[in-house]
Amino acid sequence: MKRKGKFALAIVSVMILTLLFGCSSGTNGKNDPGNKNNPPADEGGKKEKVTLNFIRWSNGPALDDEEKDKVKRFNESHPNIEVKMTLLPWDETFKKIEMSLASNSPVDLFYWDVPAYAWYKKGLMKNLQPYFERDLNMADFNENLFEPLKFDGENMYVAPENYQTLVLYYNKDLFDKANVSYPTEDWDWNDFLSAAQKLTIKSGDKTTQFGTTMSLGAWWGWMALSQEQGGKLTDNIHDPEKLTFNTPETKNALQYLQDLVFKHGVAPNASQSSALGGDFLTGKIGMYVGGDWDIASMKAAKDLKWDLAPMPKWDGNRAVPYWVGGYGMTEKSKHPEEAWEFMKWAMTDNQKTIAEQQSWIPVNETAIKEVAMPSWAPQGYEAARFDWKKYGMIGDIYHLRWREAQDKALAPIGDQIFNNKITVDEGLKQLDEQVNEILSK
């Protein structure tokens, strides 16, 4: 809004113009400079060139090249802004950002992952909601999938760029040789087991080909099977005071997966996996549920005839974990408007490129509709990769000690269950005790 005049007397024409401009701004106070949570209005005009420091982790040569190209294209199209990106190993990324936040010149932008939730709790992440309201058409997005990123229940603190999710990969040659029908959208976990049994080949006491793997051994894998039955860890993924693992639904899920190895023999144990000399790409595994980020590896395997299907259902219900890739802005960034310009560009103008590259799933629904499926995409690709959203359940817990809980409890206890060192009942009891002890510190 216009500032008030400093003089008691003013000519009538100036008063009228002031009223007209004030009423036509349409901000309803959202961009009031007195509100520290609101972005400043774009003042326009020629600006000096601004450098934005951006840190993210490396995803390997192919995806890193796409990231470098993205930054290059943004810089070329925004002559007054230069984004300088630093790529680091995952563990080093958050240490580097943490050091930056403690300095007088913090990084402007960083790529989001759960460890950064600690910075939100410390007030070090910029509230992006005013920018969203000012500059984005939310009809272009599936807002329900953004809800987990409203850490306080109301405001966005991350600018989403892409989704990742789980799909069912299968080897068409092995299915054809075993005369097994390909997976469909109607498959349940009984169908999955039945196919895995037919795809498993033994020679004496040795298994030379397995129907599947233990790819769902991570906590978000077996929790998806629990959620398909109506199970849940908590009512609130943000700072939960307690998680409940020992439920019938989670027991069923863990028992099903453990039985794939030790009862049915259709998935390899640790030593058998090593003996195979590799994973699905060896051509000795019939199918597995894995992240859609594995598609790049599938495309590179020229002699592998592969396809995709959605995750199977449990008693007619499907739940699919998803994760969100996107950007956070530091509260002390000296260039918040320019940093937001990069975020906004990533959520809008660059979404069509993401859709064309097919390495990640774009968050912009309009961009997805505008780009045709690639010529290399197998028959089940579109349904498996894009129809999950109505079943999507976030694959994260937002808590300061969640990473510690994963490293010290979830992973080691899961390993004991899936190596048959403890029973499922024993594992669930230990999870309830140890995870909640860590979270309560």
What CATH number is associated with residue 157? 3.40.190.10
More confident of the two residues 47 and 273: 273
**Full domain range(s) for residue 241:** 165-321+397-439
Query: 314 and 352 share a domain?
Result: no
Task: Calculate the CA dihedral of residues 131, 135, 139, 145 and round it to 10 degrees.
Answer: -30
Query: 269 and 220 share a domain?
Result: yes
Are the beta carbons of 125 and 330 closer than 8 angstroms?
yes
Query: 204 and 288 share a domain?
Result: yes
What does the pLDDT look like over 389-398, one tens digit per residue? 999 999 999 9
Mapping DSSP onto H, E and C, the string for 358-416 reads CCCEECEHHHHHHCCCCCCCCCCHHHHHHCCHHHEEECCCECCCHHHHHHHHHHHHHHH
Query: 279 and 181 share a domain?
Result: yes
- Residue 159: inside a domain: yes
- Residue 426: inside a domain: yes
- Confidence tier at 51 by pLDDT (50, 70, 90): very high
Chain centre to alpha carbon of residue 213: 23
The beta-carbon contacts of 115-122 under 8 Å, at least 24 apart in sequence, are: 115/403, 116/328, 117/151, 117/398, 117/399, 117/400, 117/402, 118/400, 119/328, 119/330, 120/151, 120/157, 121/400
Lowest mean per-residue pLDDT among 34-43, 209-218, 354-363, 364-373: 34-43
The pLDDT of 154-167, averaged and rounded, is 97
Distance CA(245)–CA(436), nearest Å, equals: 10
Is residue 39 pLDDT above 90, yes or no?
Answer: no
Query: 222 and 152 share a domain?
Result: no
What does the pLDDT look like over 319-349, one tens digit per residue? 999 999 999 999 999 999 999 999 999 999 9
Residue with tokens 């002890």: 437
Lowest mean per-residue pLDDT among 7-16, 120-129, 167-176, 425-434: 7-16
- Residue 287: inside a domain: yes
Q: How many C-beta atoms surround the C-beta of residue 153 within 10 A?
A: 8
**How many domains, in total, are found in the chain?**
2
Query: 274 and 409 share a domain?
Result: yes
Query: 429 and 345 share a domain?
Result: no
- Residue 4: inside a domain: no
pTM: 0.86
- Residue 382: inside a domain: no
Distance CA(213)–CA(290), nearest Å, equals: 10
Share of the chain above pLDDT 70, in %: 89
pLDDT at site 79? 97
Structure tokens at 438: 């860590």
- Of 319, 325, 257, 318, give the one whose Cα is nearest residue 293: 325
Are the beta carbons of 351 and 363 closer than 8 angstroms?
yes
Query: 120 and 209 share a domain?
Result: no
- Residue 99: inside a domain: yes
Query: 206 and 299 share a domain?
Result: yes
- Residue 245: inside a domain: yes
Mapping DSSP onto H, E and C, the string for 240-278 reads CCCCCCCCHHHHHHHHHHHHHHHCCCCCCCHHHHHHHCC
The pLDDT of 215-240, averaged and rounded, is 95
Query: 273 and 288 share a domain?
Result: yes
CA angle 291, 293, 317 (to 5 degrees): 30
Are the beta carbons of 95 and 88 closer than 8 angstroms?
no
Is residue 253 pLDDT above 80, yes or no?
Answer: yes
- Residue 12: inside a domain: no
Query: 315 and 431 share a domain?
Result: yes
More confident of the two residues 121 and 62: 121
Query: 93 and 152 share a domain?
Result: yes
